[in-house]
Structure 1
Amino acid sequence: MRIFNPVNTRILTGLLGVALLGGVHAQDDLLDPEKAFRLQVHQKDAQTVVARFDVAKDYYLYKDRMRFSVKDAPGVTIQSIKYPAGIVKQDPNFGKVEVFKSTVEVELLLKRSANSNKMTLLTDYQGCEEKRGVCYMPMQKSAALTLR
């Protein structure tokens, strides 16, 4: 019985190459995380900052992977965070989770001293592309704000 066959090997190598190239092409179709999960931060009023995510079609963000903190802001702390309701999803990696599949605005209620007028908001988050099940590594963005 002969196991090695050069003709079969060439066919298998060709099929493997096509599969790999197809995989590379599929990966190329994924959006950059900055485009898949556009983040904008603005001040709503004297005590509230809003983090707005514009989530691309066929992508989603995990609610429980969002974290917010302040940096370089003496006298400023986050007192509470108000999330809108998300969509409950059975995730193959994390089980039952809440996700956001479209624009989401998270309100951060600040506690600040009278003379605090600057802060940097650090936002950590993670999301996935739904059709292929590709998840991005956790990301962190910073936004400098002059408070009014």
Structure 2
Amino acid sequence: MEWQLKKFHELTTDELYKILKARVDVFVVEQNCPYEEVDNHDQASFHLFSEENGQIIAYSRLIPKGNIYKEASIGRVLVHKDYRGKGYAKALMEKSIDIVTNEWNEKEIKIHGQEYLRHFYGSLGFKEISEVYLEDDIPHVDMILQVT
């Protein structure tokens, strides 16, 4: 799997379109959840993605500390529905964590993940730091990864 990591201004218009389409397909259409997907955090973020046959198959948004949280964050984690169940989500998260902890030298990563994925994130070392709460009518939980 080949990864690309780009700042917002480094993305081509074609790449940006594919990323936004993948995010809307998963988070708005698949989950039947109308919400403001384009949220003005993309410009400060790094975008990690892998493409196959001209479409985004895995993606995450890496957000430097001080933008959404005081900690660095990983969000908008997705794997295209045709590629699920093949280990791409784990590979994506491991690469995301590696970039944030080893290239950015951050010691904490905060996420707010969908509740049904808390065991997946827990398997990567994230610990729950909130009760389950509704965001856009979907149960979420805040989690943190502390690197020593």
Report the TM-score, using the length of structure 2 for normalisation: 0.28
Flag the structure with more relative contact order, 1 or 2, with Cα contacts below 8 A and sequence separation at least 6.
1
Higher helix share: 2
Higher strand share: 1
